Amino acid sequence: MTDYVIKVEPATIIMTGIEFRTYANRYFDAEEALHGRARDEWFDPIPYHLLCQSLELHLKSFIWLTDRLARDRFRRKYGHDIIKLWRHAKDRGITKYCTATQLRNDTINLVGPYYKDRKFGYLDLLMSWEGIPILRANKHVLPTVRRLCKQLQKSLNRPLLQASWKLRGRRLTNPCSQTRYPRRGYFAANDVHYARLGKHA
How does pLDDT run across 159-168, given as a tens digit for each residue?
Answer: 999 998 877 6
How sure is the predictor about 186, in pLDDT bands with cuts at 50, 70 and 90? very low
How sure is the predictor about 2, in pLDDT bands with cuts at 50, 70 and 90? low
Higher pLDDT, 75 or 56: 56
Phi, psi of 43 (to 5 degrees): -75, 125
| Whole-number pLDDT of residue 121 | 86
Q: Quick count: other Cβ atoms within 10 Å of Cβ 120? A: 22
- Residue 13 pLDDT greater than 80, yes or no: no
Distance CA 91, CA 102 (A): 15
Higher pLDDT, 130 or 26: 26
Closest CA to 110 of 78, 82, 147, 80: 82
Is 127:119 a contact under the CB 8 Å cutoff? yes
| Whole-number pLDDT of residue 40 | 62
Number of H helices, E strands in the chain: 10, 0
Is 85:67 a contact under the CB 8 Å cutoff? no
| Whole-number pLDDT of residue 200 | 42
Closest CA to 47 of 139, 126, 125: 139
Least confident interval from 3-12, 37-46, 51-60, 128-137: 3-12
- Residue 15 pLDDT greater than 90, yes or no: no
